[in-house]
Amino acid sequence: MSAGKTGAGLPRGFACAAAHCGIRKKRSDLGIIVAERGVSAAGIFTKNRVKAAPVLVTREHLRASRGRARAIVVNSGNANCSTGAAGMAASRATARAMARELGCAEREILVCSTGVIGLPLDAGLITSVLPSLVAARAGAAESFEAFSGAIMTTDTRPKRSFARCRLGGKTVRIAGCAKGAGMIHPQMATMLAFLTTDAAVPPALLSRLLRRVAERTFNAISVDGDTSTNDTVLLLASGDSGAALRSGTAETEKFAQALERVCADLALQIVADGEGATHVAEIEVRGAPSHRAARRVAETIATSPLVKTALAGADPNWGRILAAAGRAGVPFDPDRVRVWMAGRLVCRRGTPVPFDEADLHRRLLEPKFSLAIDLGAGRGSARMWTCDITAEYVRINASYRT
Amino acid sequence: MSAGKTGAGLPRGFACAAAHCGIRKKRSDLGIIVAERGVSAAGIFTKNRVKAAPVLVTREHLRASRGRARAIVVNSGNANCSTGAAGMAASRATARAMARELGCAEREILVCSTGVIGLPLDAGLITSVLPSLVAARAGAAESFEAFSGAIMTTDTRPKRSFARCRLGGKTVRIAGCAKGAGMIHPQMATMLAFLTTDAAVPPALLSRLLRRVAERTFNAISVDGDTSTNDTVLLLASGDSGAALRSGTAETEKFAQALERVCADLALQIVADGEGATHVAEIEVRGAPSHRAARRVAETIATSPLVKTALAGADPNWGRILAAAGRAGVPFDPDRVRVWMAGRLVCRRGTPVPFDEADLHRRLLEPKFSLAIDLGAGRGSARMWTCDITAEYVRINASYRT
């Protein structure tokens, strides 16, 4: 089993392409992933009450097709959100045009959008380019790279990850790419992730695996605590490797672990590329009354502006971690708490432990480090990743729209 | 009835003093409010699980005395939090020394601290100055002003407010002062507010009135969503005006309104002086399924980094308000939503309403404006105040501790 940014090869049965269709001024703004025949598909979507049209359409299609799909069409530059009936029509027109190109049912096409909110999306820009895009699709690494570039918004770099594992004597491949940046900002960002594998996985199992893995990866990162109207993760499984997965087997567990490595790698790339971010902190909460309580404490620490600004300053200000934990609504006795920063114990029984401030400051200048807290109140644990909040984050998000 | 920063006079029966006792290098760091005899007292405290020693001691004293007090002692420069048994001993020693000076019971002394967390507090610095401070106390406006200055930390200005009303033919006065800045940051800030009145109010009624008013004022503001370990609001009532309040009367309602004006004025001064803040936004949520749901939506908008950075840029980015409302966990139909910024309707039925962007941008450059959202899902409403998040906020909070 391996996971990384290159070298594991692409899953068989898929082809990609990308182009500039005119939603943005110059940059590539349209990408497709095509399965050469109908494949298993699973998706998870934003929990925001305000859902963009493509989220509504894609969710509806996955239900109607009972987890089968032929292709994904993604545009950047326009989120197609808060666009009313015209927005729904634009997403449906995109899916219909793509289905016509591939000769499949409309419900087998999944659509995603990311970009500015509240502006009408001209589906004609997309549909006029689809025929040439479908003709140009290829299974080559370059096509996958072009796709991963077309979905970027305020991202400073594309995010890709690959894994390979041996299942029942066959080599199974997993590929993923994502876009993030603000997590999430409804004007110009959203988290989108697209995963493909050539394992054969029944739709119901695929959906369960995706949900479980996402909970520990994409749903365990925070850039700013905001949630996009467009967040979508899609996973397609072609079966072309010849390895078939069944529920509850050791093989499936092995596959889930490989999938988790890809998703965790993408999630960390998203946090590291958070708007203005200069540091990634892994937050570990232990000794909570339950896993759920641990998660709540981890989320409160991960989204605390005071913790995140302290990280920007590489300030060993553990009092802010303790204070954030204290307001998470989880019962614990402060006198039993221990806190570590970058591996150094800085607080025990709720009181300070002497430490070398200059040394710890240096450790907090590293691009990645851990923050850990043991509440001494049970066996619940949780892990999350967050980034610092910098003046650059404010600059990016305060700039008047242009 | 009137409320404002000057001119209403101070309630009778109280005296103040302030001094430099040596916790900070130079600035005034110790203040007292003394009631000339035992008075009714009520307090509300941080809900953070991690509570500073003075919070624990003051809460215990108010319970033991059944809402009677003689004096308040406040130090700045050290929060006396995460200081273990030594911290509890320091707060008790402060109360004991003050009780000795005034010849009253220790439980009649209320203590507060604000400043750095996790550093031992040398109570000797406080107790050695108390005799001269008690001797120097006075009912003059200058003494109240000195007290309001001694409690400041990262505040750029003191916060004071006064009100007067006629009750049963008598003139009743209310005075208040507060400190805030970060809301709340455990290193150098905390919200503390001290209120005095010369109305005669039984302790149980005083406590109910304070809770009700604080919910609509001090608990309706957000600078950064963090909650201090030391937050405290104390209200003392001397009765020296001769006006006695009873539960459920029109007079008590009139008093509650005057108290709310003072508290709202102080709360708004705190938001306006939020670390790095340049704008104050009044957030109004209407049409929610319940008041509680409305409050949850208001809180989510008030603490959204994306909303707060848009405010810093005077950006009419209503999509961020809508998206924040959508992730508050409150059910509503996005197609029924309306959003106003600075009084201009910008979104109706969840879709954009054309507006003059340059004009709205100018309105958002004002120091104070409103953001309103109607969810179209019921009759629940809530109001909160927040400030923008600026690069200066990050600078203040990211600076390595010195």
* Number of domains making up chain B: 2
Tell me the mean pLDDT in the region B377-401: 82
In terms of CA atoms, which chain B residue is nearest residue A364?
B400
Of residues A48, A187, A349, nearest to B317 (C-beta): A187
Tell me the mean pLDDT in the region B281-296: 95
Tell me the mean pLDDT in the region B291-314: 90
Q: Which of A189-203, A230-244, B81-95, B243-257 has the lowest mean pLDDT?
A: A189-203
Q: Is the pLDDT of residue A20 over 60?
A: yes
pLDDT at A401: 52
Structure tokens at B60: 């215990």
- Asked whether the ipTM of the predicted complex exceeds the cut of 0.85, the reply is no
pLDDT at A183: 45
pLDDT band at B2 (very low <50, low <70, confident <90, very high): very low
Q: Which residues contact A147 (CB under 8 A, 6 or more apart)?
A: A16, A17, A18, A31, A32, A33, A74, A177, A194
Q: Is the pLDDT of residue B185 over 50?
A: no
pLDDT at A254: 97
pLDDT band at A23 (very low <50, low <70, confident <90, very high): very high
Q: Is the pLDDT of residue B91 over 50?
A: yes
A-chain CB neighbours of B400 within 8 Å are 313-315, 361
Cis peptide before A184 (omega within 30 of 0): yes
Return the CATH number at B19.
3.60.70.12
Q: Is the pLDDT of residue A262 over 80?
A: yes
pLDDT at A274: 80
Q: What percent of chain B has pLDDT over 70?
A: 93
> What part of B 29-48 touches A (C-beta under 8 Å)?
47-48
pLDDT at B399: 65
Q: Same domain, yes or no, for A234 and A289?
A: no
Inspect the interface and report whether the beta carbons of B313 and A349 lie closer than 8 Å.
no
What is the Cα–Cα distance from A11 to A171, expressed in whole angstroms? 10
Residue with tokens 């990162």: A221
Q: Is the pLDDT of residue A347 over 80?
A: yes
Q: Same domain, yes or no, for B113 and B257?
A: yes
Give the range of the structural domain holding residue A320, as residue numbers without chain letter: 280-398
Residue among B245, B73, B258, B267 nearest B174 (CA): B258
Which residue in the list B46, B94, B190, B252 is annotated as catalytic?
Answer: B190
pLDDT at A242: 96
pLDDT at A187: 39
Q: Same domain, yes or no, for B185 and B264?
A: yes
Q: Same domain, yes or no, for B81 and B133?
A: yes
What is the Cα–Cα distance from B367 to B369, expressed in whole angstroms? 7
Return the CATH number at A330.
3.10.20.340
Q: Same domain, yes or no, for B99 and B13?
A: yes
Size of interface A-B (CB pairs under 8 A): 216
pLDDT band at A92 (very low <50, low <70, confident <90, very high): very high
Q: Is the pLDDT of residue A398 over 80?
A: no
> What part of A 304-323 touches B (C-beta under 8 Å)?
304-306, 309-310, 312-315, 317-320, 322-323
Using a CB–CB cutoff of 8 Å, tell me whether A26 touches chain B.
Answer: no
pLDDT band at B315 (very low <50, low <70, confident <90, very high): confident
What is the Cα–Cα distance from B302 to B387, expressed in whole angstroms? 8
**Which residues lie across from A115 on neighbouring strands?**
A77
Tell me the mean pLDDT in the region B227-245: 92
Q: Is the pLDDT of residue B296 over 60?
A: yes
Q: Which residues contact A33 (CB under 8 A, 6 or more apart)?
A: A14, A15, A16, A71, A72, A147, A194, A196, A236
Inspect the interface and report whether the beta carbons of A306 and B186 lie closer than 8 Å.
yes
Structure tokens at B33: 């409010």
Of residues A322, A388, A398, nearest to B82 (C-beta): A322
Inspect the interface and report whether the beta carbons of A306 and B350 lie closer than 8 Å.
no
Positive or negative CA dihedral for B166, B167, B171, B174? negative
Q: Which residues contact A319 (CB under 8 A, 6 or more apart)?
A: B81, B82, B117, B118, B186, B187, B229
Our answer to whether residue B190 is catalytic in this structure is yes
Give the mutation candidate from B45, B55, B285, B317 for the A interface (greatest A CB count, under 10 A).
Answer: B317
In terms of CA atoms, which chain B residue is nearest residue A313?
B398
What is the Cα–Cα distance from B356 to B375, expressed in whole angstroms? 24
Residue among A41, A394, A316, A356 nearest A197 (CA): A41
Inspect the interface and report whether the beta carbons of B324 and A395 lie closer than 8 Å.
no
pLDDT at A225: 58
> What part of A 267-306 touches B (C-beta under 8 Å)?
303-306
pLDDT at A224: 59
pLDDT at A226: 63
pLDDT at B181: 64
Note whether B33 and B71 are within 8 A (CB): yes
In terms of CA atoms, which chain A residue is nearest residue B185?
A306
Q: Which residues contact B238 (CB under 8 A, 6 or more apart)?
A: B11, B12, B13, B14, B35, B36, B39, B196, B197, B198, B200
Q: What's the half-sphere exposure (Cβ side, CA atoms, 13 Å) at A375?
A: 33
Residue with tokens 């108390």: B130
Query: For the segment B148-179, what is each residue's pLDDT rounded down to a tens digit?
Result: 999 998 888 999 999 999 999 999 999 999 99
Task: State which of A272, A288, A304 marks the end of a domain.
Answer: A272
Inspect the interface and report whether the beta carbons of B349 and A47 lie closer than 8 Å.
no
pLDDT band at A8 (very low <50, low <70, confident <90, very high): low
> What part of A 90-119 touches B (C-beta under 8 Å)?
117-119
Task: State which of B205, B239, B272 marks the end of a domain.
Answer: B272
Q: Same domain, yes or no, for B35 and B56?
A: yes
Distance from CA of A106 to the nearest CA of B (A): 25
Q: Which residue has the higher pLDDT, A74 or B307?
A: A74
**Which residues lie across from B209 on neighbouring strands?**
none
Q: Is the pLDDT of residue A140 over 80?
A: yes
Q: Same domain, yes or no, for A268 and A284?
A: no
A-chain CB neighbours of B305 within 8 Å are 224-226, 305, 389, 393, 397
Query: For the segment A203-246, what is each residue's pLDDT rounded down to a tens digit?
Result: 999 999 999 999 888 888 876 556 678 889 999 999 999 999 99
pLDDT at A397: 72
Tell me the mean pLDDT in the region B63-77: 97
| Mean pLDDT rounded to a whole number for chain B | 90
Q: Same domain, yes or no, for A256 and A123?
A: yes
> What part of B 164-193 touches A (C-beta under 8 Å)?
182, 184-187
Q: Same domain, yes or no, for A267 and A286?
A: no
In terms of CA atoms, which chain B residue is nearest residue A312?
B398
Inspect the interface and report whether the beta carbons of B335 and A394 lie closer than 8 Å.
no
Tell me the mean pLDDT in the region A331-336: 92
Q: Concatenated DSSP letters for A234-269? A: EEEE--TTS-B--TT-HHHHHHHHHHHHHHHHHHHH
Task: State which of A272, A298, A326 marks the end of a domain.
Answer: A272
Query: For the segment B12-29, what is each residue's pLDDT rounded down to a tens digit?
Result: 999 999 999 999 999 999
pLDDT at B273: 85
Using a CB–CB cutoff of 8 Å, tell me whether B55 touches chain A.
Answer: no
Give the mutation candidate from B49, B320, B336, B355 for the A interface (greatest A CB count, under 10 A).
Answer: B49
Query: For the segment B335-362, what is each residue's pLDDT rounded down to a tens digit?
Result: 999 999 999 999 999 899 999 989 999 9
pLDDT at B336: 94
Amino acid occupying residue A64: A
Residue among B272, B281, B275 nearest B315 (CA): B281
Of residues A305, A315, A337, nearest to B401 (C-beta): A315
Tell me the mean pLDDT in the region A178-201: 75
Q: Same domain, yes or no, for A211 and A353?
A: no
- CA dist B178 → A183, B140, B155 (Å): 35, 18, 10
- CA dist A337 → A287, A343, B85, B170 (Å): 9, 15, 15, 53
Q: Is the pLDDT of residue A315 over 90?
A: no
Per DSSP, B276 falls in state: T
pTM of the model: 0.78
Distance from CA of A110 to the nearest CA of B (A): 22
Q: Which of A144-153, A185-194, A207-216, A266-275 has the lowest mean pLDDT?
A: A185-194
What is the Cα–Cα distance from B365 to B140, expressed in whole angstroms? 39
| Mean pLDDT rounded to a whole number for chain A | 90
Q: Same domain, yes or no, for B155 and B26?
A: yes
Inspect the interface and report whether the beta carbons of A49 and B327 lie closer than 8 Å.
yes
Distance from CA of B118 to the nearest CA of A (A): 6
Note whether A236 and A197 are within 8 A (CB): yes
Inspect the interface and report whether the beta carbons of A48 and B309 lie closer than 8 Å.
no
Q: Same domain, yes or no, for B133 and B58?
A: yes
Using a CB–CB cutoff of 8 Å, tell me whether B153 touches chain A.
Answer: no
Q: What amino acid positions of A are annotated as catalytic residues?
A: 190
pLDDT at A308: 87
pLDDT at A181: 64
